[in-house]
Amino acid sequence: MNDSASRVTPSDHGISASRREVLGALIDEVDETERAAVASLARSIIGLFHLELHHKLEGLKAAYAREHGQGGDGRADPPSHRLDLAEALTQVLERANYRRLSQEELDHALSERGLLPLSVSIDFGAYEDRLVFVRGETTRTNTVRQLWGLRTRTSQVCSFDRVCLYLRFRAGHPDAAGRGQLTALKLFRDIPKADLEMLFPNTRLRMRGLDKALLGVPAIVGGVPVMIKLLPAFLALAMLVGLIEGEVNEASILAGLSGLVGLVLFAGRQWTKFQSRKLLFMKMLSEHLYFRNTDNDEGVLSRIVDEAGEEESKEVLLAYVMLRSHPGATARELDAAVETWLMLRFGARVDFEIDDALRKLVRLGLVTEEGGRYRALPIEDTRAAVRVRWDELSP
């Protein structure tokens, strides 16, 4: 299975370009005499959002600690504590432009045919809480080898750029047995929609119809002659235990034992084939996830908080710089200007959340609004407003 490098631009709320790329492109849009001042302001705004979200990170860590119990003994905490973590995660992930998959979307994704030649089952009843968040959708041209490499098939595969899982097992459920903790936090990248089921920790592999045929047909074809040859041996074995005549001799004993050994060897060979096939599937699943897993458990908290700071600073800087070149623009006009600029500069079709960006700018005191029209403050006034917010947040 191969993925080609071709990509179709995603359509989502998140901006696929990195903060560094966006900032560099925005500074190019500014008059050369103001570039240094705008770059300095941008660094201050970026730092300000990271400082704001640092307090959110501390709250997330505290909620995560309560989730696992202060003593680390794995005892379940009160439901109110569990909700604290789920709600706090949701808030931060939304600020990082993730969106929660609805049950209908999740069911549809799980019902699609995956890229991996695997069939799996998941017991969703094992989870007390289950949240799946995604960000960004990218379409790739995927090439799959078929018929042992004799033929290839290409298809368009839609993948999520980021997937975040928050799972909490039910205490006492068999799938929770042997786990040191009931909560699982996972972060992945570049996950095909149809392979979402592979991310759950209690996934059970099942044989596809083709795989059952590959094992079953040879077993039947090879087993029929074996059974025919072993029929006299079975009769001899029956004689050995006195089920037919009650008379035994050396010939019947040898025939019975050889027949039994042959049967055991045949069954053992088929079982070995089955286990080898299962190990191959497990290896495929492990390799598929190994390079796509970006963080686990408490490390996820720091990463999503950092992503939230990246996304919010990009949104604010985009709206502020675009507003400087479109003074007096309405929210709709500014939204169109930002989305057009992103398309022309990065080829990114983005549904920019202009209302959210303007709310942040107004909250920070970086723009003025009158009659539904917005104007960016001069650079010096903007830097002064950011310094005030810095002082409020600094210990």
pLDDT digits (tens, 9 = 90+) for 70-93: 444 444 555 555 557 888 899 999
Average pLDDT of the segment spanning 52-77: 72
CA 362 to chain centre: 34
From start to end of 260-315, where are the E strands? 293-296
The pLDDT-based confidence of 337 (bands split at 50, 70, 90) is very high
Q: Which of 105-109, 192-196, 245-249, 270-274 has the lowest mean pLDDT?
A: 245-249
Average pLDDT of the segment spanning 188-205: 82
From start to end of 301-341, where are the E strands? 329-330
Nearest-angstrom CA–CA distance, 372 and 355: 12
pLDDT digits (tens, 9 = 90+) for 122-135: 888 888 888 999 99
pLDDT digits (tens, 9 = 90+) for 202-257: 777 665 554 555 545 555 555 556 555 555 555 555 555 554 444 555 555 555 55
Res 148: pLDDT:
54
The pLDDT-based confidence of 11 (bands split at 50, 70, 90) is very low
Average pLDDT of the segment spanning 137-143: 75
Among residues of the chain, what percentage have pLDDT more than 90? 22
How many CB atoms are located within 10 Å of the residue 156 CB? 10
Q: pTM score > 0.85 for this model?
A: no
Average pLDDT of the segment spanning 41-63: 87
Res 379: pLDDT:
87
Res 256: pLDDT:
56
Q: Which of 48-57, 148-157, 181-190 has the lowest mean pLDDT?
A: 148-157
Res 124: pLDDT:
83
With a cut of 70, say whether residue 385 has pLDDT above it: yes
Res 301: pLDDT:
93
With a cut of 90, say whether residue 328 has pLDDT above it: yes
Burial, 76: exposed, middle or buried (Cβ in 10 Å; 0-12, 13-18, 19+)?
A: middle
pLDDT digits (tens, 9 = 90+) for 263-317: 666 666 766 766 666 666 666 666 767 788 999 988 999 999 999 988 898 899 9
Nearest-angstrom CA–CA distance, 232 and 309: 77
Q: Which of 3-7, 355-359, 366-370 has the lowest mean pLDDT?
A: 3-7
Classify 242 in phi/psi space as left (phi over 0), alpha (psi -120 to 50) or beta.
left
Nearest-angstrom CA–CA distance, 106 and 293: 19
Nearest-angstrom CA–CA distance, 232 and 296: 60
Nearest-angstrom CA–CA distance, 367 and 190: 37
Res 373: pLDDT:
95
Computed over every residue of the chain, the mean pLDDT equals: 76
Nearest-angstrom CA–CA distance, 334 and 319: 7
Report the alpha-carbon angle 350-159-196, nearest 5: 130
The larger pLDDT score, comparing residue 250 to residue 377, is at 377
